[in-house]
Structure 1
């Protein structure tokens, strides 16, 4: 008799693989949260997150954050743990979005909002004169989709950034510097394996 498929529950439903995310610092320091290991999901590694938050530590408390292509929500959750005022998570995947809502509830977090939507469409649908503005933006799009340039343009055209907003952009290292608006100044840059990450400041 053959072995039962371990990826299925007795009900016959597929059991999706899960992995863990660890919050590095702040009020939830050391907390481990499960997320669904969907194909193509690349949570920002601990060492990259630690470097990023060392760069932006003074800007996080009180910040309104936007975590685009949020996936596991690693960046927005880390910001909320470090006293960001709010975080808006936007991701197309229904399963990962649902899990992120569950994790926010588990943390008893009231200032995180999860929006299950296509990021470009969501940006395009923001009213240019009434939308919330963000102090801190995390942009970690799927590789090889050419999403950084249109996202940056829409953030600007829909007036979604505060005057001196900080924008974190994560791309494949083979791509080279992404195309960003001319009044964004690059503050930091680093490469870790196949990933390059940069921090920009928007000059008013």
Structure 2
């Protein structure tokens, strides 16, 4: 797995050797960023189930200002920190070793807001809608924020209050859904 494009392009990333994380493949990542617009002009990114940190690092590589990378798994956070070090711009990343619900509350307390959010939790159907509604309730999303939800091809999410589904990509056994926060 590697950074595909942007400032940190072609850097190989470390991954956790565990079946607890499912790294987003380079093919899925490339398709996802192509559909988002490829390159960006600032903003804050949140990867709430970061795994290796690849999505958040890729977003910063392509022009976002800063990424907050959250994972409950201590070993995953160690891998994320190694990957962030590869950028040589560690100040553009914050790594949090905590539950997603705790992280969301912490971000709200600190007045943080995000423009792009990645959600790829282990139990997608139950967590994605709940996390999205919680982010809305805590006012963590800037106007026109984008939320990217990655699931397997058997998971149906349905309508999520406060968000509009703008794209739905089927990439093999992976489905990537892109939502925009409603105004």
TM-score (norm: length of structure 1): 0.82
Higher-Rg structure is 1
User: Residues 143 and 172 of structure 1 are in contact (CA less than 8 Å); yes or no, is this contact kept in structure 2?
Assistant: no
- 1:193 aligns with one of 166, 172, 183: 172
**Secondary structure of the corresponding residue to residue 123 of structure 2:** coil
- State the Cα distance separating 1:157 from its structure 2 match: 0.8
Structure scoring higher RCO (CA < 8 A, sep ≥ 6) equals 2
> Aligned partners of 2:124, 2:39: CA distance in 1, in Å?
30
- 2:53 aligns with one of 69, 73, 76: 73
The structure 1 segments of at least 4 consecutive aligned residues displaced by more than 4 Å after TM superposition are none
What do you get for the CA RMSD once the two structures are aligned? 1.8
> Aligned partners of 2:107, 2:16: CA distance in 1, in Å?
29
Could you tell me which residue of structure 2 aligns to residue 153 of structure 1? 133
Q: Residues 137 and 153 of structure 1: is their aligned pair in 2 closer, same or farther, counting only changes over 3 Å?
A: same
- State the Cα distance separating 1:63 from its structure 2 match: 1.7
1:1-204 counterparts in 2 under 5 A?
Answer: 21-57=1-37, 60-109=40-89, 110-127=91-108, 130-143=110-123, 146-181=126-161, 183-204=162-183
CA deviation string 1:12-70 (max 9, x = no partner): xxxxxxxxx21100011111122222222111111111111112126732020001100
- State the Cα distance separating 1:125 from its structure 2 match: 4.4
> Aligned partners of 1:144, 1:152: CA distance in 2, in Å?
12
- State the Cα distance separating 1:104 from its structure 2 match: 1.2
User: Residues 124 and 154 of structure 1 are in contact (CA less than 8 Å); yes or no, is this contact kept in structure 2?
Assistant: no
**Secondary structure of the corresponding residue to residue 176 of structure 1:** coil
> Aligned partners of 1:60, 1:168: CA distance in 2, in Å?
15
User: Residues 148 and 179 of structure 1 are in contact (CA less than 8 Å); yes or no, is this contact kept in structure 2?
Assistant: no
CA deviation string 1:99-146 (max 9, x = no partner): 211221232122011000011222244436x52110011111113661
Query: What is the count of residue pairs matched by the alignment?
Result: 182
- State the Cα distance separating 1:197 from its structure 2 match: 1.0
Name whichever structure is richer in helix by fraction: 2
